[in-house]
Amino acid sequence: MTEAAELPPAPAEAEAVFGERFPDAVRYAELLADAGVRRGLIGPREVPRLWERHLLNCAVLSEAVPEGVTVCDVGSGAGLPGIPLALVRPDLRITLLEPLLRRTTFLQEVVELLGLDHVTVVRGRAEEMLGKLPPVHVVTARAVAPLDRLAGWGVPLLRPYGEMLALKGDTAEEELLAARSALGKLGVVETSVLHVGEGVVDPPSTLVRVEVGESPGGVRFAAKRAKAARVSRSRRRR
């Protein structure tokens, strides 16, 4: 049985970032350090750096998310970045999308325990969700896949003129350059690298922002989207 390392006290920045939901952030950190390790959702070596590297690193993503939008967190895993984002942004409607049952079970437990009424857990693969989930304004992801592959999963889930925000590390610029051709085929019209969380996390979190035009997924997904819409209309008429 894996022994979890001791969870350190929350840093002062955490109380400022999470505000009135700080006690819930502490509870979530405790769950990750205990059940999260026992169920194999995070490694025991991550426990000592849960606050800085994981919770705060994800919570500052909120700086880049517009007010009152819908969000789909692709490959949510143990809830990163979706749960920290939900704690600091009650104005958002967030879907945690995750294919593995043991992870979605954990996510549902966390959502219910913390009373996150604006969060929905869905089990499934992003590439199979076209037409099954309503298109969203923002797709988020962290440590899921290289940018070109991630965009192929996430971009088609967007509404027209939506955006994907991917938490990346030092390789953000290189990944963006390598993925430029693939992004263009997916209907992406603008890309940028952002740094958020200055003064909260050191170094600041790095985001790749991918913005789409009126055809998320490009020509490749236009036919799939039209077919999904026809199937949806047909089901509603039954």
**Which of 105, 144, 135, 101 has the alpha carbon at shortest distance from 217?**
135
Write down the pTM of the prediction: 0.91
pLDDT of 2:
45
Task: Please report, as a single letter, which amino acid is at residue 19.
Answer: G
pLDDT of 226:
64
Mean pLDDT by 10 residues, the chain (238 residues): 73 97 98 96 95 96 98 97 98 98 98 98 95 95 89 96 95 92 95 96 95 88 66 62
Is 106 in a helix, a strand, or coil?
helix
d(CA 16, CA 36): 25
pLDDT of 219:
76
Q: 162 vs 9, 126, 128, 187, CA distance in Å? A: 37, 16, 19, 11
